[in-house]
Amino acid sequence: MPLTIDLRAAYRSAKDDDQRFIQNLALFLSNFLKEHGILIERTVDLKETLLEALQYLVLISEVEEIEIFKICLEYWNILSAELYREVPYQQITPLYSRSTNSTNNTPTRRQFYSVILSKVEIMKTFVLFDREII
C-alpha cells in the first residue's frame, strides 16, 4: 500500500473485509508501536521503517470511522505524553551558550517525531471541526 493513498476515500468505498483489514492494521500498528517503539527508535537501520509505520497510522487516523479513530488517538496520546514527560517544556538555549562545534548533534525524540506529530495536530484540528466535537 503506497503512502500516497487516500485511505479515507478507499475506506469509504471498501468492502467489509477491507474495512476490517484497515481496523486490524490500526490495532496492530498502535499496539506494536506502544510496546516496541522505543526499541525500534534505538535501532538505526529501522528508523525509516518506523517513520513509514507512523505515516500509515496518520493515514489510518484520517479514516471516518470513530472506532478506528479512537484506536489511533490512544496511540497518539500515549506517544505525546511520553515525549512531554521526557521534556515537559521546550527549553530555549540562550544564543551565547550555544556552541558552534557541538559534538552532540543527536536529535531528541521530540525532534524525531515532530514531523509526524505536526501532521497529527493538523488532522486533529480538522477532525474536531469536521465532527463538530468542539
Alpha-carbon span 95 to 91, nearest angstrom:
12
Residue pLDDT, tens place only, 91-121: 555 445 444 444 455 568 888 888 888 777 6
3-state secondary structure 5-18: CCHHHHHHHCCHHH
Which of 81, 62, 74, 77 lies closest to 3, judged by CA? 62
DSSP 63-77: SS-HHHHHHHHHHHH
Per-residue pLDDT reduced to its tens digit, 13-50? 999 999 999 999 999 999 999 999 989 988 989 999 99
Of 77 and 122, the structure prediction assigns the larger pLDDT to 77
Length of the chain: 134
Q: State how far the Cα of 77 lies from the Cα of 74, in Å rounded to an integer.
A: 5
Full-model pTM: 0.75
> Under a CB-based contact definition with an 8 Å cutoff, are residues 114 and 56 in contact?
no
pLDDT band for position 82 (cuts 50, 70, 90): confident
Q: What is the predicted pLDDT for the residue at 68? A: 93
Across 69-90, average pLDDT: 84
Query: Would you state the pLDDT for residue 133?
Result: 45
pLDDT at residue 20 in the model: 96
Contact 38, 112 (CB under 8 A): no
